[in-house]
């Protein structure tokens, strides 16, 4: 049986992906800071801060899917929090690489999460694809270092894939729940200008991308994990309203309010450009939920 080790399995994406992998017949192992008595998966522990992990986690593993990393949208971006965001991604990937190397494990592929933040927190006329370089802002630098850490595997001839993920829509918890609540209460509105784009993806389609990255030996390098449809923040909010039968009539939340609330982190709400899904579609992926309306109908009805 093919064995997949997943880090960040308790996170928004990890829980869904582990379940899907198990349903598809894979043997799933999870690597986390602690174990749970109720987990259906084989569990191993690590401590990235102390640079230690159970080497048994990688023995006889075919694939590693690396999702672990501090939530970029939690807490103000002071210097300590910024360092944690970077180190949780970079140091964890390096620890995985060192452990794989020390145990002489021959992976079929290393698949790492990344983010569309690679292209920066900006609103522009550009439609960003995988050929564009990284931004020089904080988010762009985080993603650049994140992917460079993953590329240690590529340097020793292990197939390496990075999934640059947009806003992930899930049925419970996550960003969608926070976006739906004010609309349900009748106070939904756009953020800032409202004309910034919101690259998004349904969790089912994102899991399909990870499955394809495991199964398709031709996949290498970065792929954007976003739906084909380009939609603005305000139009996405209005689409939520249409699906749940609520009007969005409030004026947009002013930018200065978000900056007061979130500080520098407000930029992730106030800026956003279009991101292309063409590369993953050319690789053969067919989106189950290609439009926001279709995705929201599935998740909110």
The predicted-structure confidence for 123-157, as pLDDT tens digits, reads as follows 999 999 999 999 999 999 999 999 999 999 999 99
The structure tokens 């992930």 sit at 168
In whole angstroms, give the CA distance from residue 46 to residue 281.
Answer: 35
Residue 96 lies in a domain: yes
Supply the CATH number for residue 139's domain. 3.40.50.720
Could you report how far apart the first and last alpha carbons of the chain are, in Å? 37
Position 105 in a domain: yes
Q: Which residue has the higher pLDDT, 6 or 301?
A: 6
Residue range of the domain that includes 10: 3-168+202-225
Q: What angle do CA 277, 126, 117 make, to 5 degrees?
A: 65
pLDDT tens per residue across span 76-122: 889 999 999 999 999 999 999 999 999 999 999 999 999 999 999 99
Distances (CA, A) of 301 to 171, 180, 242: 10, 12, 11
Least reliable range by pLDDT among 60-74, 215-229, 284-298: 60-74
226 contacts: CB under 8 Å, gap ≥ 6: 116, 164, 165, 166, 199, 200, 201, 275, 276, 277
295 in a structural domain: no
Place of tokens 């954007």: 224
Q: Is residue 25 part of a domain?
A: yes
Tell me the pLDDT of the chain averaged across its residues. Answer: 94
Q: Is 192 left (phi over 0), alpha (psi -120 to 50) or beta?
A: left
Q: Please give the Cα distance from 7 to 111 (Å, whole number).
A: 11
Residue 7 pLDDT: 97
Query: Average pLDDT for residues 287-295, to the nearest whole number?
Result: 98
Summarize pLDDT for 215-265 with one digit per residue, the tens.
999 999 999 999 999 999 999 999 999 999 999 988 888 898 888 878 888
Q: What is the pLDDT of residue 123?
A: 94
Instruction: Note the pLDDT of residue 254.
Output: 85
Please, which pLDDT band fits residue 23 given cuts at 50, 70 and 90?
A: very high
Q: pLDDT over 70 for what percent of the chain?
A: 100
Task: Write down the pLDDT at residue 181.
Answer: 92
Instruction: Provide the number of structural domains found in the chain.
Output: 1
For the chain, percent of residues with pLDDT exceeding 90: 84
pLDDT in tens, 31-60: 999 988 789 999 999 999 999 999 999 999
Per-residue pLDDT averaged across 290-299, rounded?
Answer: 97
78 within some domain: yes
Sign of the Cα pseudo-torsion (188, 189, 192, 194, in order): positive
108 exposure class (CB count in 10 Å sphere: 0-12, 13-18, 19+): middle
Residue 123 included in any domain: yes
- Domain assignment of residue 11, yes or no: yes
DSSP annotation of 263 reads: G
Q: How confident is residue 301, by pLDDT bands cut at 50, 70 and 90?
A: confident
Checking if the pLDDT of 75 tops 90, the result is: no
Domain annotation covers residue 214: yes
């Amino acid at each position: 049986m093919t064995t997949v080790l997943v880090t960040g399995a308790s996170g928004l994406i990890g829980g869904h992906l582990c379940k899907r992998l198990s349903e598809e017949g894979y043997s799933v192992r999870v690597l986390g800071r602690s174990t749970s008595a109720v987990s259906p998966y084989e569990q191993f522990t690590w401590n990235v801060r102390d640079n230690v992990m159970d080497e048994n986690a990688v023995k006889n593993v075919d694939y590693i899917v690396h999702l672990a990393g501090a939530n970029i949208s939690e807490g103000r971006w002071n210097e300590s929090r910024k360092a944690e965001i970077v180190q949780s991604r970079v140091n964890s990937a390096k620890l995985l690489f060192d452990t794989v190397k020390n145990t002489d494990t021959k992976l079929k592929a290393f698949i790492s999460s990344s983010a569309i933040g690679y292209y920066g927190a900006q609103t522009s006329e550009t439609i960003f694809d995988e050929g564009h370089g990284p931004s020089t802002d904080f988010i762009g630098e985080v993603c650049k270092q994140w992917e460079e850490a993953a590329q240690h595997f590529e340097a020793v001839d292990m197939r390496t894939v990075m999934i640059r993920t947009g806003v992930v829509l899930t049925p419970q918890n996550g960003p969608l729940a926070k976006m739906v609540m004010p609309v349900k209460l009748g106070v939904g509105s756009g953020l800032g200008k409202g004309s910034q784009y919101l690259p998004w993806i349904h969790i089912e389609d994102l899991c399909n991308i990870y499955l394809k990255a495991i199964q398709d030996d031709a996949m290498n390098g970065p792929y954007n994990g976003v739906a084909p449809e380009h939609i603005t923040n305000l139009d996405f909010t209005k689409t939520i309203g249409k699906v749940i039968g609520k009007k969005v009539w409030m004026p947009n939340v002013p930018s200065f309010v978000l900056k007061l609330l979130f500080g520098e982190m407000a930029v992730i709400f106030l800026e956003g450009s279009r991101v292309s899904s063409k590369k993953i579609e050319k690789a053969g992926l067919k989106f189950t939920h290609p439009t926001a309306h279709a995705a929201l109908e599935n998740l909110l009805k």
